[in-house]
Amino acid sequence: MDQTWLDLPASRVDEAARLLLGRHLTAGGVTVRLTEVEAYSGLGEDPASHAHRGMTSRNAVMFGPAGHLYVYQIYGMYLCANIVCGEEGRAAAVLLRAGEVIEGLPSARERRPAARKDTDLAAGPAKLMQVLALDRTANGSSVIDGTGPLLVSGDAADQSLITAGPRVGVTSAFDIAWRFWIAGDPTVSAYRRHVPRRRPAGGS
């Protein structure tokens, strides 16, 4: 398996994100072909990153070695996973946004009964986690040596097929084109541009 994404420095996390597309994610008896990701840097240079203010107990995994999972909760109920990239001590990670289930469809359908089509099974970061049966215990685990619940395998997608655009669901630096996806793939999640809230007239 080509693992060039593992050798890239944190300053090139966007390149690592592109090189993760097309690879296979296997966990819980299901394999997903990764079709959409987002890159996040840290240490002040990317205000949308969980690590931009420095290390905390929550984001410590992002400062560790490449090839480990950073798992966190959003909206108090959904889990998302990032693969840590770059050199140890400088935070960078790639959010796993969407994919195509290529093995273990019966298990994937059982875990996502609300999905109307197979292309919807892992069309979003929380949906991807559900399909792969990953939870908080995966935080900090390796995705490359077989010791963790998730294993990344296979080769990158044809780079000429990859499209870039603004990230989704962030309130800062949301127009940076660090969301990457395989053009035309039906499993890519729907894009919704961030709209800043306006304070009512006369408010403080």
Q: 37: closest CA among 140, 180, 203, 195?
A: 180
The beta-strand segments (E) located in the chain are 24-27, 30-40, 69-74, 78-84, 93-103, 151-153, 162-165, 179-182
Give a yes or no: residue 199 inside a domain: no
Give a yes or no: residue 161 inside a domain: yes
Give a yes or no: residue 136 inside a domain: yes
Lookup result for tokens 């709209």: 195
| Helical ranges in the chain per DSSP H | 13-20, 105-111, 125-131
What per-residue confidence (pLDDT) applies to 191? 72
C-alpha distances out from residue 85 to 14, 29, 201, Å: 10, 25, 44
- Cβ-based neighbour number of residue 92 at 10 Å: 31
Give a yes or no: residue 56 inside a domain: yes
CATH number, domain of 101, equals 3.10.300.10
CA–CA separation, 78 vs 52, rounded Å?
Answer: 22
Strand partners, 165: 179
Strand partners, 40: 93
What per-residue confidence (pLDDT) applies to 22? 97
- Cβ-based neighbour number of residue 2 at 10 Å: 10
Query: Tens-of-pLDDT digits for all 204 residues of the chain?
Result: 567 899 998 889 999 999 999 999 999 999 999 999 999 887 667 655 556 656 777 788 988 899 999 998 877 778 999 999 999 988 889 999 999 999 999 999 999 999 999 999 999 999 999 999 999 999 999 999 999 999 999 999 999 999 998 877 666 666 778 899 999 999 998 776 655 555 444 433
Q: How many domains does the chain have?
A: 1
Give a yes or no: residue 162 inside a domain: yes
What per-residue confidence (pLDDT) applies to 2? 67
Give a yes or no: residue 22 inside a domain: yes
C-alpha distances out from residue 127 to 3, 81, 112, 148, 164, Å: 26, 11, 8, 20, 21
CA–CA separation, 151 vs 69, rounded Å?
Answer: 10
For the entire predicted model, the pTM comes to: 0.88
Host domain of residue 85:
4-182
